[in-house]
Amino acid sequence: MSLKGKVAVITGGGSGMGRATCLQLAKDGAAIAIWDWNENGAKETADMIAKAGGRAIAVKVDVASAAQVAAATQRTHAELGPITILVNNAGISGMVPFLEVTEEIWDRMILINLKGPYLCTKAIIPDMLAAGWGRIVNITSSSTQLGSKKMTHYVASKGGLAGFTKALASEFARSGITANIVPPNFIDTPMLREHVSKEAIDAMAEKSTMGHPGAPEDIAAAVAYLCSVAAKHINGHTLSVNGGNYMN
């Protein structure tokens, strides 16, 4: 599934499934702009792509800052060209009992996980409209389908992102642009290891349908398909990558 000649922005590409997605889309031929506030992580991903013979730039950006997103868009244009693939993957997580979710905790979650994708999409969609072709993939979470204790703020942010994606899919359907959702479930990444102990991960694996967590590459493969030229009639869809832990 060749993406030769396309320019892709992957937010949060400095770690976990964002990094795996950068590597996969680069392998498929796209030039990659890795947008991450973790500059070292983004540079590591860019080096991995360069070593494999691909083209990538690491861009330090907080996706929740309109000014930084505008500067990142400008730099990506200058160095790689117009952008027609956007993967809104950057996000934060956290477990806080609902009664302890302060306004500050709530606002920060919504700012990064929901306003961030809005800002990135707003900045990049004019390139897609000019090209008459575009792919947007938004990374939500299985918790929007299953619910999750102590994660009201996180699930609200990801549920908002799912709704946002479907509305985009409707609004731009006649412009050659698709917008789709990938909700990961139990994927072994630094984020999972930061919030869940090794013992708890082992117990979750034991209970899971396949007996093990998913890998970042499993998400990357789904994203790559939705970004492909072949996926032109898949729009507003939710492509669950969960090993059969729930079936919809």
118 is catalytic: no
Edge-to-edge strands of the sheet including 56-60? 56-60, 31-36, 7-11, 85-88, 134-139, 177-182
Q: Which of 3, 22, 116, 179 binds ligand NAD (CB under 6 A)?
A: 116
157's CB contacts (< 8 A; 6+ apart) are 91, 109, 110, 112, 113, 114
Using CB under 6 A as the criterion, what x/- string covers residues 64-83 for binding ligand NAD? x-------------------
Binding to ligand NAD by residue 87, rule CB under 6 A? no
Interaction residues for ligand NAD, span 201-240 (CB under 6 A): none
17 and 222 in contact (C-beta within 8 Å)?
no
Measured from the CB atom, is 141 or 235 closer to ligand NAD? 141
CA atoms of 73 and 33, how far apart (whole Å): 9
CA atoms of 3 and 31, how far apart (whole Å): 9
- Helix (H), strand (E) at residue 106: helix 103-110
Q: Which of 18, 54, 117, 160 binds ligand NAD (CB under 6 A)?
A: 18
Measured from the CB atom, is 18 or 54 closer to ligand NAD? 18
Binding to ligand NAD by residue 36, rule CB under 6 A? yes
Q: Which of 76, 89, 180, 235 binds ligand NAD (CB under 6 A)?
A: 89
Q: Which of 3, 6, 10, 14 binds ligand NAD (CB under 6 A)?
A: 14
